[in-house]
């Protein structure tokens, strides 16, 4: 029997972050319904802090979904998380930059501050009754020991899994495998892999992460996303299903991809 | 030291008049300057070119070893004929479609140089072991040309180089179903610290020449070459890039002949709004930047796209009035 792995679709969040791509509320709701129907495990539906329209989309997706779990993306900010809570998603995802270049140059903070702020945010979402996932941004350029220690602290909270994000797309399959195996060896946390295609290796790196024990794999339709995009859903599933069971219904995924192509065509013409 | 064999010229369709000798000469030179150690030439290309450009090392594709004598100017010849010819530097290309077939390759161990093509599914297996088996069988005089049916060719080429393989075969944009030249070169730089001295600003020109010779569609988000890979809208990313480009860029856009562009839309943030306003000579306070951001997002959502420069100017005027 093939091992089970779960697809997390982030077309409506990271995909829409591609410059110039905007989905209407109706489009988001329609795509989410088709993703749900084809067996995608989790749908990252958007960023509530962006505003009213984004919140309404997530709220409507929540009200129509059948099986998929719906998550909302947040920066490590209590204000962002409050916006998310208003949409009542299944999962509140909190993104935390973990590489030193991000902590010291972008946030202009230090590791101690980061740890405390993260625990405060996770606690806030947990206390309000939400499941939480935490995204380690720029994990591929971060210190494994630092990430492992952070996970150890997070194990005390209700965190479902940790997203290992190759934010700038510099992983190779070998480095992916080493990182995922290292973290799994030293912690009891489940892992999600999120890669970008800057070097053309997104499908390979996602496969290698899944082979190394990551249970959740982030994809986008047509591989859209920041810069060279994310792991392409169709490509990943078509290759990965030779060794994994993703629970994806082929006919329904064709319908989803057709609908997405027609939306994207309109996008390009707009 | 790694060595790249570029097979782009073998993926073109000759005989329709779209391909000239001069264009091929320029293409071979540019590919070499961008990092190819060897250029594979089909006979049709060599006939059009008439010569091999200075500085270019070429490998001629032939059908049988006896053809090599007719074209004596090459260091290597590549063929699928599986002939052992000690007198000629002959690379025998062997198609292998399944990792299970690797064991059977021992029967070709007597060949001096081989190019193993295929193995698109290798990443689904324990590929470090399979690569080691190939190296054990053939030693270092083996070229690996992974195919891309499983969308893993670039990754396999890079892993081959990282795990002791010396030679890989690739093609520009992965034409013909191989690993993509530009992706492998850039990965070699970033992940293996190899090919540091080659000139990747030539990539757009190479892309242009190939698109004049063949029907080429490059997706706007194609790795390394896409027209929009350095166009940034999201607030978090724009903020980071303004502070320090290495936060969100795997390599500088200028190193591959491109420019970074920050555009505005639904996912913009306050920092990018302020920077864009400053470019117009307007300093915005936090409150006005927030107001303008709301207008930019609303406009972008309504128009279902990013906003243009002229639209931004109109919105800026509404918010800032005569400030600045």
Nearest CA in chain A to B251: A168
Q: Cα B59–B2–B160 angle (5° rounding)?
A: 100
| B225 in contact with A, Cβ within 8 Å | no
| B218 in contact with A, Cβ within 8 Å | no
B131 within some domain: yes
Q: Is B203 left (phi over 0), alpha (psi -120 to 50) or beta?
A: alpha
Q: Cα B22–B24–B25 angle (5° rounding)?
A: 65
Rounded to whole angstroms, the Cα distance separating B201 from B191 reads: 19
Domain range for B207? 3-213
CB atoms within 10 A of CB A107: 16
Q: Cα B59–B62–B63 angle (5° rounding)?
A: 155
B202 and B274 share one domain? no
A 2-41: CB under 8 A from B: 16-20, 22, 24
Pairing of strands A216-219, B90-96: unpaired
Per-residue pLDDT at A20:
83
B53 and B193 share one domain? yes
Structure confidence by residue, pLDDT tens digits, A57-107: 999 999 999 999 999 999 999 999 999 999 999 999 999 999 999 999 889
Minimal Cα–Cα distance from A230 to chain B, Å? 10
Q: What is the CATH number of the domain that holds B273?
A: 1.10.238
A269 confidence band (pLDDT: 50, 70, 90): very low
Tell me if A170 and B250 make a contact (CB, 8 A cut-off).
Answer: yes
Whole-model pTM? 0.95
Domain boundaries, chain A: 3-269
Q: What is the CATH number of the domain that holds B181?
A: 3.20.20.70
B73 and B147 share one domain? yes
Rounded to whole angstroms, the Cα distance separating B300 from B280 reads: 20
Side-chain-side CA neighbours of B192 within 13 Å: the count stands at: 26
Domain total of chain B? 2
Nearest one of B68, B14, B79, B76 to B45, comparing CA atoms:
B14
B308 within some domain: yes
| A47 in contact with B, Cβ within 8 Å | yes
Nearest one of B191, B199, B188, B197 to B166, comparing CA atoms:
B188
Chain B partners within 8 Å of A5 (Cβ) = none
Running along chain B, 324 residues long, what does each successive block of 10 average in pLDDT?
Answer: 96 91 97 98 96 96 91 92 79 96 94 96 97 96 97 98 97 98 97 95 97 92 95 83 86 95 89 90 92 91 88 91 58
Q: Where are the beta strands (DSSP E) in chain A?
A: 3-4, 6-9, 42-46, 69-75, 91-97, 131-137, 159-166, 190-195, 216-219, 244-245
A 155-214: CB under 8 A from B: 167-170, 172-175, 197-201, 203-205, 207-208
Distances in Å between the alpha carbon of B237 and those of A162, A177, B164, B246, B262? 21, 27, 37, 11, 10
**Cβ-nearest to A242 among B124, B154, B221:** B124
B41 and B129 share one domain? yes
Structure-block tokens of residue B169 = 């075969």
Nearest one of B17, B108, B25, B1 to B9, comparing CA atoms:
B25
B151 and B280 share one domain? no
Nearest one of B198, B222, B76, B86 to B143, comparing CA atoms:
B76
Tell me if A201 and B232 make a contact (CB, 8 A cut-off).
Answer: no
Per-residue pLDDT at B323:
56
Residue A270 has pLDDT above 80, yes or no: no
B178 and B280 share one domain? no
Which of the listed residues B183, B213, B243 is the one where a domain comes to its end? B213
Chain A partners within 8 Å of B225 (Cβ) = none
Does residue A58 contact residue A48 with C-beta atoms inside 8 Å? yes
Tell me if A199 and B183 make a contact (CB, 8 A cut-off).
Answer: yes
B132 and B255 share one domain? no
Q: Cα B276–B268–B306 angle (5° rounding)?
A: 85
Tell me if A172 and B155 make a contact (CB, 8 A cut-off).
Answer: yes
Rounded to whole angstroms, the Cα distance separating B99 from A193 reads: 26
Rounded to whole angstroms, the Cα distance separating B6 from B59 reads: 10
B222 within some domain: no
Helices (H) and strands (E) counted in chain A, each on its own, are 10, 10
Structure confidence by residue, pLDDT tens digits, A2-35: 999 999 999 999 999 888 888 999 999 999 999 9
B88 and B208 share one domain? yes
B223 within some domain: no
B113 within some domain: yes
B9 and B122 share one domain? yes
Residue B275 or residue A152, greater confidence = A152
B 96-155: CB under 8 A from A: 121, 123-124, 127-128, 150-152, 154-155
Does residue A43 contact residue B288 with C-beta atoms inside 8 Å? no
φ, ψ of residue A75 to 5 degrees: the values are: -70, 165
| B244 in contact with A, Cβ within 8 Å | yes
Helix (H) / strand (E) containing A124: helix A111-127
| B233 in contact with A, Cβ within 8 Å | yes
Tell me if A172 and B226 make a contact (CB, 8 A cut-off).
Answer: no
B173 and B286 share one domain? no
B278 within some domain: yes
Nearest CA in chain B to A233: B151
Structure confidence by residue, pLDDT tens digits, A181-222: 999 999 999 999 999 999 999 999 999 999 999 999 999 999
Residue A268 has pLDDT above 90, yes or no: no
Per-residue pLDDT at B271:
87
Cα A190 to chain centroid distance, Å, stands at 14
Per-residue pLDDT at A266:
57
Rounded to whole angstroms, the Cα distance separating A192 from A180 reads: 9
B173 and B246 share one domain? no
Q: Cβ-count burial of B81 within 10 angstroms (0-12 exposed, 13-18 middle, 19+ buried)?
A: middle
B194 and B273 share one domain? no
Tell me if A204 and B123 make a contact (CB, 8 A cut-off).
Answer: yes
Sign of CA dihedral A215, A221, A222, A226: negative
> Longest C-alpha distance within chain A, in Å?
49
Tell me if B237 and A205 make a contact (CB, 8 A cut-off).
Answer: no
Structure-block tokens of residue A262 = 């027609």
Minimal Cα–Cα distance from A225 to chain B, Å? 8
Q: Cβ-count burial of B176 within 10 angstroms (0-12 exposed, 13-18 middle, 19+ buried)?
A: middle
Rounded to whole angstroms, the Cα distance separating A227 from A230 reads: 9
If DSSP codes are grouped into helix, strand and coil, which group holds residue A216? strand
CATH no. for A3-269: 3.20.20.70
């Amino acid at each position: 029997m093939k091992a089970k792995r779960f697809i997390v679709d982030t077309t409506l969040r990271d995909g829409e972050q591609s410059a110039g791509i905007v989905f209407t509320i109706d489009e988001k709701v329609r795509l989410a319904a088709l993703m749900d129907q084809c067996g995608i495990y989790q749908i990252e539906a958007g960023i509530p802090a962006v505003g009213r329209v984004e919140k309404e989309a997530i709220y409507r997706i929540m009200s129509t979904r059948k099986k998929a779990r719906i998550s909302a993306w947040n920066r490590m900010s209590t204000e962002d998380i409050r916006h998310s809570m208003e949409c009542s998603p299944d999962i509140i995802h909190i993104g935390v930059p973990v590489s030193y270049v991000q902590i010291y140059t972008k946030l202009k903070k230090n590791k101690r501050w980061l740890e405390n702020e993260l625990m405060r945010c996770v606690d806030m979402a947990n206390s309000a009754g939400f499941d939480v996932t935490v995204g380690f941004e720029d994990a591929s350029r971060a210190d494994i020991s630092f990430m492992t220690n952070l996970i150890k602290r997070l194990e005390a909270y209700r965190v479902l899994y940790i997203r290992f994000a190759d934010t700038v797309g510099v992983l190779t399959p070998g480095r992916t495998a080493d990182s995922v195996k290292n973290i799994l060896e030293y912690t009891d946390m489940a892992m999600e892999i999120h890669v970008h295609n800057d070097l053309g290796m997104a499908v390979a790196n996602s496969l290698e992460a899944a082979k190394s024990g990551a249970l959740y794999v982030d994809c986008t339709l047509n591989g859209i996303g920041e810069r060279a995009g994310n792991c392409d859903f169709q490509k990943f599933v078509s290759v990965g299903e030779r060794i994994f069971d993703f629970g994806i219904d082929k006919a329904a995924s064709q319908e989803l991809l057709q609908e997405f192509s027609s939306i994207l065509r309109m996008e390009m013409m707009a | 030291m790694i060595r790249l064999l570029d097979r782009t010229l073998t993926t073109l369709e000759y005989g329709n008049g779209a391909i000239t000798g001069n264009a091929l000469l320029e293409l071979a030179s540019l590919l070499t300057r961008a990092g190819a150690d060897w250029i594979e030439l089909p006979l049709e290309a060599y006939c059009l070119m008439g010569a091999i450009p200075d500085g270019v090392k070429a490998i001629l594709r032939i059908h049988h070893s006896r053809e090599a004598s007719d074209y004596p100017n090459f260091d290597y010849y590549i063929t699928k004929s599986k002939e052992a010819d000690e007198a000629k530097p002959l690379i025998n290309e062997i198609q292998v479609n399944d990792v299970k077939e690797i064991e059977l390759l021992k029967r070709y161990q007597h060949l001096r140089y081989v190019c193993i093509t295929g193995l698109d599914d290798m990443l689904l297996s324990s590929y470090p072991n399979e690569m080691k088996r190939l190296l054990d069988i053939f030693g270092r005089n083996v070229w690996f040309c992974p195919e891309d049916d499983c969308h893993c060719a670039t990754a396999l080429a890079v892993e081959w180089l990282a795990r002791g393989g010396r030679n890989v075969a690739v093609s520009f944009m992965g034409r013909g179903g191989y690993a993509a030249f530009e992706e492998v070169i850039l990965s070699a730089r970033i992940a293996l610290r190899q090919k540091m001295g080659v000139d990747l600003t030539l990539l757009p020109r190479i892309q242009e020449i190939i698109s004049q010779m063949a029907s080429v569609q490059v997706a706007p988000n194609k790795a390394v070459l896409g027209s929009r890979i350095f166009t940034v809208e999201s607030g978090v990313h724009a903020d980071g890039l303004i502070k320090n480009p290495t936060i969100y860029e795997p390599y500088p856009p200028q190193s591959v002949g491109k420019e970074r562009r920050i555009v505005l839309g639904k996912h913009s943030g306050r920092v990018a709004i302020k920077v864009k306003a400053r470019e117009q000579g307007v300093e915005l306070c936090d409150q006005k930047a927030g107001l303008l951001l709301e207008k930019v997002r609303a406009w972008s959502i309504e128009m279902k796209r990013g906003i243009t420069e002229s639209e931004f100017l109109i919105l800026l005027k509404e918010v800032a009035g005569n400030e600045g």
